[in-house]
Amino acid sequence: EDKVVQSPLSLVVHEGDTVTLNCSYEVTNFRSLLWYKQEKKAPTFLFMLTSSGIEKKSGRLSSILDKKELFSILNITATQTGDSAIYLCAPPTGGTSYGKLTFGQGTILTVHP
């Protein structure tokens, strides 16, 4: 059975801090890992990772994948109150179709001014 575990479940920081969110997975036929940010509405896509060791970057957010150790991290530097959200990771699975998407529980990030 596919398994996705995120940690920590909850994180409270102050503006300017740097945070690291973790996502570990156990899936068959791994192809990619997806990161999402969810504020008070629908999840929005952040990154797709397919290769180990190659950092994806978007502004203050970056993410990297370790396919050998089966985990990914999402880093946010110089956090702002607008970064407060639930961060979700999910590796597509489902045989060769890769249509099945099992999300982790999410990390609730709260950034105080």
Partner 1 sequence: EAQVTQNPRYLITVTGKKLTVTCSQNMNHEYMSWYRQDPGLGLRQIYYSMNVEVTDKGDVPEGYKVSRKEKRNFPLILESPSPNQTSLYFCASSLSGVHGYTFGSGTRLTVV
User: Applying CB under 8 A, does 13 fall inside the site for partner 1?
Assistant: no
Helix (H, G, I), strand (E, B) or coil at 82: helix
User: Applying CB under 8 A, does 22 fall inside the site for partner 1?
Assistant: no
Cβ 91 to partner 1 shortest distance, Å:
9
Distance separating alpha carbons of residues 95 and 47, to the nearest angstrom: 22
Distance separating alpha carbons of residues 60 and 29, to the nearest angstrom: 31
Among residues 82, 70, 87, 68, the alpha carbon closest in space to that of 20 is found at 87
User: Applying CB under 8 A, does 104 fall inside the site for partner 1?
Assistant: yes
User: Which of 71, 94, 108, 110 lies at the binding interface for partner 1 (CB under 8 A)?
Assistant: 94
**Residue 77 backbone class (left: φ over 0; alpha: ψ -120 to 50; beta: rest):** beta
User: Which of 5, 13, 48, 70 lies at the binding interface for partner 1 (CB under 8 A)?
Assistant: 48
Write out the residues near partner 1 by the rule CB under 8 A: 31-32, 34, 36, 41-45, 48, 50, 88, 92, 94, 97-106
